[in-house]
Amino acid sequence: MPGPTEERLHAAIRLLPAIDAHTHLVGGRLSAAGLHDILLYHMAVSDLYAAGCPSGARLTQYPGRPTDEEAHARLAEAVPYLPLVVNTGISWGVRIILGELYGWTKPVTPDNWRELDALVRLRSEDPAWPAEVQRRAGIVRFGTEYARREGFADRDRLFYSLEWAFFTRCQWGEYDTALYELERCWGRSPDSPAPIGGGSRPATERTVRCVADVLAAVDHYVAAMPLDCIVSMATHISTDLDLRVVSDEEMAAALQRRPQAGPAERDIYASYVNEAFLAALERLPRPPVFQFSFGAEPLPFETAGRLSQRSIAQLAEMVSRRPGLRFQCFLASRHSNQSLCTLCRELPNLSLAGYWWHNFFASSIGQIMEERLEMLPINKQIGFFSDAYCIEWAYAKSRMVRQIMAGVLARKVEQGVWSEADALGFAAAMLLDTPRTLLGLAETGEPVGLRGPA
């Protein structure tokens, strides 16, 4: 049971305003469309798949959406496995959503899930519901993908990150992903990113055949970035890549080997394209924050958490080469957090944000949070982002992080390291002040110096 110090801090932290630095919310439809958006959130699907549920894939993703038939079939398949995952951290989030937002405290069973689904669907039709969930969550603004802006609907609640191409993300069974990502963006306007996992690749309008094509495609990508509407861009850096500086000649030779490409060519393509892209970004008058996820690598459906020390060393080299850019890491590897903290201590343009994917579990969050508080200045660490696809999951994750934060801070107060006032100040900074500063957001949450849509 929490002691009095933790209870006092938790009560105060629950009232603090926060910025959700990274989500996948869709403008104009922020809330769950049905029970599937809650029970079959991708992290919950992994729980169920591990427990024996036959389906491990995500439901139809944006810009599409699951049909009622798809959603109901997957729910009917998954619900029998819920008793096997009730112990998991993600199931804690499910209980928070169902109990606190929908007043549903009984187990979800094959006999009653349709009743609960109808309740969620009815609530989704209430135009006031997203604002109510946001109020209860204490989140003043949500960062989401620029491609999900839907005509800038809900712009008073959202700010935007460009998540379009992933030049340094490996895909399952592919060796020319960096080139394909360039090709599918070349000559086009910003759109949704390619799904994780690889597989079927739609044909592109243009093909990269030489170094000049690479540079032209990079120039187009940067010119097409909606810099007046975004505060950041989001990508991934794969630990399988051997990232380094590649010469024009080495890249040209590797391009000729594309039909037979293997790991060596994959590393050359990704390294060359990434360095060209970073150089182009650094030439911009006000580059967006370069946000990147780190420490989660593709499996057939989702990812596994792994990260090599070599990748961390290469990251340090990359960040140090680009002092004009601001880098921000979403880390999925608990054991690498200490190493990333040491990098942030010596690289002024690198910061850390939240607890991503394989780190979003109470034990991991607590350890990571405590390490960062001990090792980093308070203005180098963002204490929360939800990675949510509906506003209910942003609520649940905000509740979870605030409770864990209260426990971490209370232990330090009881050890005599900080006063309660200090601890509460740190919480306020991590939740609001630091994300506001690092992402260039004004007091209102509006991007500083960005025009946005008319």
- DSSP E strands: which ranges in 150-203? 158-162
The token pair that represents 410 in the structure block = 């209370």
Cβ burial of 158 (10 Å; 0-12, 13-18, 19+) is buried
**Residue 55 within any structural domain of the chain:** no
Could you tell me if 241 and 272 are in contact, meaning their C-beta atoms sit under 8 angstroms apart? no
Give the tens place of pLDDT for each residue, 52-104.
999 999 999 999 999 999 999 999 999 999 999 999 999 999 999 999 999 99
Give the tens place of pLDDT for each residue, 33-51.
999 999 999 999 999 999 9
The token pair that represents 274 in the structure block = 């990434």
Query: What is the spatial distance between Cα 105 and Cα 108, in angstroms, rounded to a whole number?
Result: 9
pLDDT band at 452 (very low <50, low <70, confident <90, very high): very low
**Residue 30 within any structural domain of the chain:** no
Query: What is the spatial distance between Cα 144 and Cα 142, in angstroms, rounded to a whole number?
Result: 6
**Residue 131 within any structural domain of the chain:** no
Report pLDDT for 443: 64
- DSSP E strands: which ranges in 157-261? 158-162, 232-237
**Residue 379 within any structural domain of the chain:** yes
Could you tell me if 373 and 74 are in contact, meaning their C-beta atoms sit under 8 angstroms apart? no
Could you give the 3-state DSSP secondary structure of residue 132?
helix
The token pair that represents 354 in the structure block = 């939240």
**Residue 44 within any structural domain of the chain:** no
The token pair that represents 4 in the structure block = 């009095």
| Distant-in-sequence, close-in-space partners of 375: CB < 8 Å, separation ≥ 6 | 338, 341, 342, 344, 345
> Where in the sequence is the domain holding 294, given as residue range(s)?
140-385+404-438
Q: Has residue 198 got a pLDDT over 80?
A: no
Could you tell me if 268 and 212 are in contact, meaning their C-beta atoms sit under 8 angstroms apart? no
**Residue 122 within any structural domain of the chain:** no
Report pLDDT for 241: 97
Q: How many domains is the chain partitioned into structurally?
A: 1
Could you tell me if 137 and 154 are in contact, meaning their C-beta atoms sit under 8 angstroms apart? no
**Residue 278 within any structural domain of the chain:** yes
Report pLDDT for 199: 63
**Angle formed at CA 361 by CA 358 and CA 367, multiple of 5 degrees:** 100
Report pLDDT for 300: 83
Cβ burial of 226 (10 Å; 0-12, 13-18, 19+) is middle
**Residue 239 within any structural domain of the chain:** yes
First to last CA, the chain: 52
Give the tens place of pLDDT for each residue, 133-149.
999 999 999 999 999 99
Q: Check which CATH number belongs to the domain holding 301 and give it.
A: 3.20.20.140
Higher pLDDT residue, 306 or 301? 306
The token pair that represents 228 in the structure block = 């007046």
Least confident among 55-69, 200-214, 238-252, 432-446: 432-446
C-alpha distances (whole Å) from 220 to each of 86, 161, 236, 408 are 48, 18, 20, 46
Could you tell me if 251 and 268 are in contact, meaning their C-beta atoms sit under 8 angstroms apart? yes
Could you tell me whether strands 303-305 and 296-298 are parallel, antiparallel, or unpaired per DSSP bridges?
Answer: antiparallel
DSSP assigned state of 111 = T
Ramachandran area for residue 387 (φ above 0: left; ψ -120 to 50: alpha; else beta): left
The token pair that represents 305 in the structure block = 């958490």
Could you tell me if 239 and 293 are in contact, meaning their C-beta atoms sit under 8 angstroms apart? no
